[in-house]
Amino acid sequence: MSDHLLTGHQEVEENFRTLLNNTNAAQAVSRVVEGTIGPKGLDVMLIDNFGGIAVSNDGLTILKLMEVNHPVARMIISAVKSQQSEVGDGTTTTAILAGSLIAEGSARILKGVPVSSLVDGIQKGIKEAIRLINEATVHISSLDNKYLFDTAVIAGRGYEDIARLVVAGASLNGMEKLLHPVYKLADAVVSSEAAADRVFNGVIINKEPINMHILPEYIGNPVIMVINDALGPGKIDNDALKTDSGFKHYMQSRDIYENNLQKIGDSGVNLVVVDRGIDDTAEEFFSRSGIAAVQRVSSREMDDLCRHTGAQKLKRCTLDESIEKVNQYTGCARQVWFDKKNRQVCIYDGRGESFATILIGASTREAAEERERIAQDAAAAVQAAVQGGIVAGGGTLEVWLAERLQELADHEEGLSSYGIYCVSEALKRPFLCMAANAGLNPLKKMGDVITAQKEAGSSSISIDYSSEQLIDAFEKGIVDPAGVKINALKTAGEVAAAVLRINMIIKMQSDKGSLDNNLMN
């Protein structure tokens, strides 16, 4: 940081310099992503020290990859990550709102408004804005609702092919699954270089079998075993092996282990999935028996496989049970495909619950990863729309909210009104950025929208950023999930309040023990 910091001699920054420094950092983060928002938003290229590049217009991707040193900038990026974790979309909007709230609040603090009154007003403004958003929300009662596709297109940056895949995946899962608080449709999106885009009822394991070379391309009606353990004989201490009893125990353990492997073969299992390693004895047995074996599979992939096929995880010791008992742990599916090109295992139509997989392909690895991020945003937006409904998009709802908060601030008594004004001004920022990115006059177009909204008494009157004509956002399918808007506003308000409350910046001592001693003295 360029400004003075507290040292061991207690040198303190002037308060206004701290505020300005923090505000500049917040605005710098906001400006990085402002050019990416809206239908006419552009991309950002990031370059590392070795010449590697990344090109994206996804707010979270950009902020995660860029080099950041200022603590306030890091706070905003943490808030953006929280937005992604909670609802999976709206990260750019969160960064823009947070930067604008901090800038507006800073300007009023420098004019003499007490921080406590300002923060109180910001909280009041956000609370009222959320109430108004809930009033304007249109709820989704069916997965056939056309607004789901519109939502996916908007969140998917205009890629209709990706939007169709996402909506198909949502329909395959069903309403009940999408409403479940733990399930995330975005987790169903996977990408692969040179793969064909498709949606199917099944799961993908991103590992190739250790004996891929001997396997056919497909196995019909496979029996699947999932082992949540290492596959090998029990360990025996080297010193114990030197004794007769120890060696005898070792040989007995080997015999039991080999019998258990034979038990797997006799049970008709075609695919064994293990979360740890598989030893040479098991590998040789599986290859000889034509059983596909996949090791070191992630916990999430194993969980998905179990839910989809009806398999239950078992420990190595469970194999000591009877073959009838072991068979109770197996799962089934219609087909397994060994994708040798992409080194994956695809399991289709398991006997358990439906499990949509949305496979996204592209000609290069970098393009596939970017399309995967786009599809994940679209999937998160569709699920958020199902869970919390939709509102007018394109920045139009924010303009309408800004006017309502302006009216509230005009009637608010006390200095907290300045905080409400801050929220009102911050809400205008996304629309202004979208209009500027489209090459339009932002202030003029916002004035046209405000006038049209008042005349129509509607929060959905917006502007077509291509034709410059006034439109109804709902009629044109320009919609956003209400939950994304609400969470972005809450998150931005929280980080803004935290930053505006910072009165000084202190450099911590590197020796924690020394710091504790100083505090005690």
The two beta strands, 344-350 and 53-56, are unpaired
pLDDT at 510: 66
Q: 10 Å Cβ neighbour count for 503?
A: 11
Q: Which fold has domain 15-138+391-500?
A: GROEL; domain 1 (1.10.560)
The C-alpha torsion from 52 through 58 and 59 to 62, rounded to 10°, is 0
What ranges do the domains of the chain cover?
15-138+391-500, 202-362
pLDDT at 477: 93
φ, ψ at 256 (rounded to 5°): -60, -45
Tokens standing for 250? 């070792």
CA-CA distance, 103 to 62, in Å (whole number)? 21
- Residue for token digits 């992503």? 33
CA-CA distance, 170 to 185, in Å (whole number)? 7
Predicted structure pTM score:
0.81
Q: Which fold has domain 202-362?
A: GroEL (3.50.7)
φ, ψ at 2 (rounded to 5°): -80, -25
For 228, the 3-state DSSP assignment is coil
CA-CA distance, 279 to 259, in Å (whole number)? 15
In 3D, which of 204, 226, 203 has the Cα closest to residue 312?
A: 226
Instruction: Give the E-state strand segments of 299-440 in sequence order.
Output: 331-339, 344-350, 356-362, 390-392
Per-position pLDDT tens, the chain of length 521: 444 444 443 443 467 788 888 999 999 999 999 999 988 988 888 888 888 888 888 888 888 888 888 999 999 999 999 998 888 888 999 999 999 999 999 999 989 999 999 999 999 999 999 999 999 999 999 999 999 999 999 999 889 999 999 999 999 999 999 999 888 999 999 888 878 899 999 999 989 999 999 999 999 999 999 999 988 876 666 665 556 666 676 678 788 888 999 999 998 999 999 999 999 999 999 999 999 999 999 998 999 999 999 999 999 889 989 999 999 999 999 999 998 888 899 999 999 998 999 999 888 887 888 899 899 999 999 999 999 999 999 999 999 999 999 999 999 989 999 999 999 999 999 999 999 999 999 999 999 999 999 999 999 999 999 899 999 999 999 999 999 999 999 999 999 999 999 876 677 776 555 545 554 44
Residue 75 falls in which region: left (phi positive, over 0), alpha (psi -120 to 50) or beta: alpha
CA-CA distance, 344 to 198, in Å (whole number)? 15
CA-CA distance, 345 to 296, in Å (whole number)? 13
Residue 137 CB contacts under 8 Å (≥ 6 apart), including other chains: 388, 389, 390, 391, 482
Residue 90 CB contacts under 8 Å (≥ 6 apart), including other chains: 83, 480, 484, 485, 487, 488
Q: 10 Å Cβ neighbour count for 138?
A: 15
